[in-house]
Structure formats: structure tokens, C-alpha cells
Amino acid sequence: MLNNLESPAPTLPPAHAGLLEAVRQEAVQMANRLFASQFLVVFELWRQQCCYSSPGITELLGYEADELSLSLFYAAIHPDDLPAVIRASALASEFLQLHGPMPGKDGGDPVPPCFSVDYRLRCRAGHYLHVLRQNFIIAQDAVGHPLATASLFTDITAHKNTVDVRFNLDHPDFAGWLSVRKGKREEDELSSREQEILALILAGETNAEIAKKLFISYFTVKTHRRNIQRKIKSKNVSQRLAHLGAGMV
């Protein structure tokens, strides 16, 4: 049975609440088909909250349902893997902004692609599992904006012998675009400092907290944040990467 994290809030539009109820029903059906090495997490993007998790997350990672948040999932990524995970999410986001979803068959509705990335994720006990995370949109509003995304996590520790981070977007044009994109040295590449600050933003840190942690001024953080927004082409960095990163993601 799927754990229900309390989600009703007065700021949630009534139309969205109706769609999220359908999401609950679909998530239950999906969770019932999972293997012992898998768990499902559903994120509601309007408030950037985790609204469901299957029991496997407690069995595999040790976290309880009421602990889950986007910031927890980013904070639990191995620090050596985090920059690559963020970079992969940013590249997938950039591609989707340029190309959009795949056209549906026979003129049907567009099909949102699935974003996959594997990395090391910290358990409550402190050790790491190597997981494959597959993100896909599970609910959209009337104009196609994502309302909720599902993240399917699979424990691949027994099958992954390297520590490299690999990712994919199941769009037929993505591999070709990525090959060209990686071959360019552009001005919109995130610097190492910007990647560090972006990781802290996604972990829920405020500008003041980031400044204190990195021993830089508050205004320097704001400048870096503006540059990150420009390079990722989004004013809301957390929301832009949320449905690719942990809930993103």
C-alpha cells in the first residue's frame, strides 16, 4: 500500500487538486507492480512537495514518508556525483526547452520523454546505494504544463561496478543534439562555483545560508544566482530542474 504524505493546502487551485487525486490512484497501481529493488516517489510541482512514496523507500533507504522532500533527495546525492547529476538535468531541461516533447502517434497528444540518470544515493544509515532514477511527467494541466512527476528509483548497486554518472532522455533527437552540444565551448557553461551554489540552492539553502557556508558575501551569491538563471534560461531554477532533478530531479 502506498504511503500518503499529507498534501492539501489552501493555495492549491481546485482544478489541480482534482488532477492530483487521479495521480494518487495511478501511483497506487504503479506501486503495486514494483520489484523489491524499486520504490516510487511522486512530486507535486505547484508547491514543490513530495506527495507520495511507496514503502520500498523505507526498506531500501531507511527514510520515512514524512521526511521526504526535494532538498532531502538532493542532499543525499553523493557529493562527487552531484555536479554531474545537476549538469545532466540542466542539459535535458535545455533540450526540452528547444525541442519540446515527442509528437504522439497518429497525431495524438505529445508524449513527454523519460529522463534517466544513475548515481550514488545516501541511505539514512550513512552508506550509499547506486540507483537508477527515471523521471516522467504523470500529470499536466490543460495547456500541458507539468503538475506532478514520478521518480522511479531502482537499486542497481549489484550491477554497477563504476562510479561514473550516466544519463539519457528517451527522445529520438537527444543523442545527436547532445553530441553537438558537448562539442561546443559556450558562454553558458556553469562554472565550478556556480555548480556548487546551484547544488546548495537545490538543497533548499537561502542566499544568506549559502554566503555563510561558502565564506562569500550575500551580494556575490545573488550575482551568481542571476548568472545561473541566465545560463539555465529560467528565473525559477529549483522549479525548472525539479521535474528532472529529484523530483528532481
pLDDT, one tens digit per residue, over 99-155 is 877 777 766 677 788 999 999 999 999 999 999 999 998 888 777 778 889 999 999
Could you tell me if residue 51 is inside a domain? yes
The CA-to-CA distance between both ends of the chain, in Å, stands at 24
- Domain hosting residue 29, numbered range: 3-81+99-186+238-242
* Residue-wise pLDDT tens digits, 187-246: 567 787 888 888 788 777 889 999 998 999 898 999 888 888 887 766 555 555 544 443
Average pLDDT, stretch 24-40?
A: 93
Could you tell me if residue 109 is inside a domain? yes
Q: What is the domain-level CATH number for residue 60? A: 3.30.450.20
Helices (H) and strands (E) in the chain, counts: 9, 7
Q: Alpha-carbon distance 243 to 42, whole Å?
A: 10
Could you tell me if residue 113 is inside a domain? yes
Could you tell me if residue 67 is inside a domain? yes
* Residue-wise pLDDT tens digits, 61-110: 999 988 988 889 988 999 999 988 988 888 888 888 888 777 777 666 77
Please report, as a single letter, which amino acid is at residue 40.
L
At 37, is the pLDDT very low, low, confident or very high (cuts 50, 70, 90)?
very high
Strand partners, 38: 154
Contact by Cβ (8 Å): 158, 177: no
Could you tell me if residue 173 is inside a domain? yes
Could you tell me if residue 37 is inside a domain? yes
pLDDT, residue 15, reads 64
Could you tell me if residue 21 is inside a domain? yes
Q: Alpha-carbon distance 181 to 163, whole Å?
A: 24
Could you tell me if residue 200 is inside a domain? no
- Work out the mean pLDDT of the chain and round it to a whole number: 82
For the chain, the domain total comes to 1
Global model pTM greater than 0.85: no
